[in-house]
Structure 1
Amino acid sequence: MSALEIRNIHKRYGQVETLKGIDIALESGEFLVLLGSSGCGKSTLLNIIAGLAEPSGGDVLIGERSVLGAHPKDRDIAMVFQSYALYPNMNVARNIGFGLEMRKSPAAEREKAVRETARLLQIENLLDRKPSQLSGGQRQRVAIGRALVRNPRVFLFDEPLSNLDAKLRMEMRTELKRLHQMLKTTVVYVTHDQIEAMTLATRIAVMRDGRIEQLGTPEEIYDRPATLYVAGFVGSPPMNILDAETTGNGLKLYGCDDILPLPPRFESVAPAGRRVKVGIRPEALRLAATDTPGARLTARVEVVELTGPELVTTAALGGQRITACLPPRTALTTGSAHAFTFDETALHLFDAESGRSLLSG
């Protein structure tokens, strides 16, 4: 039984259509991340699930029951906001248990639930404090606790970590992952942060202009992007995209003399004369020795950036550029020419006009 089903959801504001037919079925215990840039429709979709906005068409089912028209409190959901939304005049214990208090839960049951939730979140020592006495990470834990204590069918998170600094975001990602693995909760999580999406999700819906560009596991999204948009959006640094044309000899890159061999899996979908976009992830590139067999790209180094664990190198390839993530002790100098190689399994091909992967059907 699906915990949450979104059926052909549309949303219009006058003549502007912000959601253009969204279909997702979420099984119990899944962690779905809605990923996309600002304005893609992900928060609008979350608000429709929550009951904070009504769709212009389609249906939302929670536990196989349509919730269209139902008040948010009657949908068996809990929502965690970006702004925490804690009551400043209440201590942590009452903030966590306030929803239960409003539902007239017995005081003994309420206190037990609050303490169990605080134990899970490791904030038992904070129950008597006010929000103003807490750090950002602690406030976020309280906001999550307020949702957890109700034990709803679906949890909704609207960019909950965006107000935290980098170190706290990493800590809270780990905390959310731990809680999900422990409790097997069903989650819909909105973010524009691909690291959050890749580390937290069981499935990712990459959204663009009110549509789902690709829906799949983090591995599928990263290893087999269905479109150029997904390939460029997911990955840091993003995938290298090079203009090319198929020839009888392989792939001729525009603006340089390099010709790459065409992997056998593309032979039936890339006849000679087809304009394509060649995709190669930066971490798939490595420096080629003189006798290294296989595909080679000869490029002139323009920028070298040491991040600590890797050396991010930008190099000119004729009129195009590539980025390579190399071992940190790699000896490179700006202006020098080097040959880069990669395994043919790392190569992606996209249609130059539609932007769709040639292997996506």
Structure 2
Amino acid sequence: MSALEIQNIRKNYGAVETLKGIDVALESGEFLVLLGSSGCGKSTLLNIIAGLAEATSGNITIGGRSVLGVHPKDRDIAMVFQSYALYPNLSVARNIGFGLEMRKVPVAERDKAVRDAASLLQIENLLERKPSQLSGGQRQRVAIGRALVRKPQVFLFDEPLSNLDAKLRLEMRTELKRLHQMLKTTVVYVTHDQIEAMTLATRIAVMKDGRIEQLGTPEEIYDHPATLYVAGFVGAPPMNILDIKVDNGSLAIAGSDLRLPLPDRFKAVARNGTRLALGIRPEALRLASAEPSCRHALPVRIEVVELTGPELVITARIGQQKLTACLAPRAKVSQGDATTLAVDDEALHLFDPATGRACLA
């Protein structure tokens, strides 16, 4: 039995359909990330799961029980919002235990639950403070602690790290990963940050325009993007997308004289004369100077060189099209250089630009 099952959920606001048939089933202990840009429907879906919004049609079950029409407090869920939503006049301890207090949980049991949550979150020394005396990261830990003491079947997180600076976000991301590994809880987590999605999730649902573009593990999403949207959204820098034409067993790069051999795995699906999109991840490219016999060589002219620390990111031109590559940080290249990049056969992806779908061998 699934811990959470979302069945053909649709949501209309008048004539506008914001969710267009969402189907997902989560087993106990899964960490599902709803990933997408603003307006894709991910927060709307989370609110429907939480009971803060009603679906137009479809069904949601938690632990095998339909929760449509069930009040949020009776759904056996706990939610952590983007804003911390702490009571400023209450101590950290009372903020964490407030939900239990409202449910008339005995004081001794409530205090133990608060201490256990504080220990897990490493905030035992903050229990007597007020929220105004805490940093942003500490406030977010208190908000998470308030959810933890509920011990619900499903935790819901709505962009909980968005208000934190980069360093704190990294720390809290690691903390959330640690907590999930320890507690084996079922989590639905909303974010627009693909790094958060890749590092936290056991599965990612990439959403666009009220639909799930692709549902899979982080490795599947990254290594085998199902659509052009997923290819461009997941990855930093995003995947290079080049216009090509299949021409007598080769891939002719539009705007240049370059032809690449058509990988054998695509010969059955890439018909001669068709126009396709070629996807290459920037980190799959490397300098070809040490590989004079590489199968796929791309002559480029470098326009921009950026050292990020761990890598050198170059923006180059291949004919009239732009190409980004992530090279070793001490690679000997400069702006204006003409050089050649190499890429392996398995790092090439083909997409149908008309449908946006990947050409699967």
State the Cα deviation string for residues 98-123 of structure 1 (Å, max 9, x = none): 00011110000000110011000000
State the Cα deviation string for residues 266-285 of structure 1 (Å, max 9, x = none): 01000211110000000000
- What residue is the counterpart of 1:13 in the other structure? 13
- What residue is the counterpart of 1:329 in the other structure? 330
SS at match of 1:17: strand
- What residue is the counterpart of 1:282 in the other structure? 282
Cα distance between partner residues in 1 of 2:188 and 2:137: 21
State the Cα deviation string for residues 68-120 of structure 1 (Å, max 9, x = none): 00100000000000001000000000000000011110000000110011000
- What residue is the counterpart of 1:270 in the other structure? 270
SS at match of 1:314: strand
Tell me, yes or no, if structure 1 residue 339 matches structure 2 residue 340. yes
SS at match of 1:195: helix
**Deviating 4+ runs (over 3 angstroms):** none
Tell me, yes or no, if structure 1 residue 98 matches structure 2 residue 98. yes
Cα distance between partner residues in 2 of 1:310 and 1:226: 27
Contact 1:240/1:281, CA 8 A, preserved across alignment: yes
SS at match of 1:60: strand
Alignment of structure 1 residues 147-158 onto 2, 5 Å: 147-158=147-158
Cα distance between partner residues in 2 of 1:168 and 1:333: 35
Cα distance between partner residues in 2 of 1:87 and 1:10: 34
C-alpha displacement at 1:336, in angstroms? 1.2
- What residue is the counterpart of 2:312 in the other structure? 311
Cα distance between partner residues in 2 of 1:262 and 1:39: 38
Cα distance between partner residues in 2 of 1:68 and 1:215: 24
Alignment of structure 1 residues 1-361 onto 2, 5 Å: 1-289=1-289, 291-359=292-360
Structure 2 residue identity aligned to 1:350: F
* Structure 2 unmatched ranges of 5 or more: none
Cα distance between partner residues in 2 of 1:11 and 1:196: 26
SS at match of 1:303: strand
Cα distance between partner residues in 2 of 1:110 and 1:355: 53
C-alpha displacement at 1:346, in angstroms? 0.3
Cα distance between partner residues in 2 of 1:20 and 1:288: 46
C-alpha displacement at 1:247, in angstroms? 1.1
Structure 2 residue identity aligned to 1:130: K
C-alpha displacement at 1:292, in angstroms? 3.2
State the Cα deviation string for residues 295-330 of structure 1 (Å, max 9, x = none): 011110000000000000000111101000000101
Cα distance between partner residues in 2 of 1:321 and 1:66: 50
Contact 1:300/1:337, CA 8 A, preserved across alignment: yes
SS at match of 1:244: strand
Contact 1:228/1:356, CA 8 A, preserved across alignment: yes
Contact 1:249/1:259, CA 8 A, preserved across alignment: no
SS at match of 2:3: strand
Contact 1:256/1:317, CA 8 A, preserved across alignment: yes
State the Cα deviation string for residues 162-202 of structure 1 (Å, max 9, x = none): 00000000000000000000000000000000000000000
Q: Please, what is the CA RMSD of the aligned residues?
A: 0.8
C-alpha displacement at 1:249, in angstroms? 3.4
State the Cα deviation string for residues 177-228 of structure 1 (Å, max 9, x = none): 0000000000000000000000000000000000000000000000000000
Contact 1:258/1:296, CA 8 A, preserved across alignment: no
* Structure 1 unmatched ranges of 5 or more: none
Structure 2 residue identity aligned to 1:152: P
SS at match of 1:291: coil
Aligned length: 360
Contact 1:99/1:146, CA 8 A, preserved across alignment: yes
C-alpha displacement at 1:335, in angstroms? 1.0
Structure 2 residue identity aligned to 1:194: Q
Cα distance between partner residues in 2 of 1:108 and 1:57: 43
SS at match of 2:167: helix
Cα distance between partner residues in 2 of 1:249 and 1:339: 22
TM-score of the two chains, using structure 2 as the length reference: 0.99
Cα distance between partner residues in 1 of 2:51 and 2:337: 58
Cα distance between partner residues in 2 of 1:352 and 1:16: 26
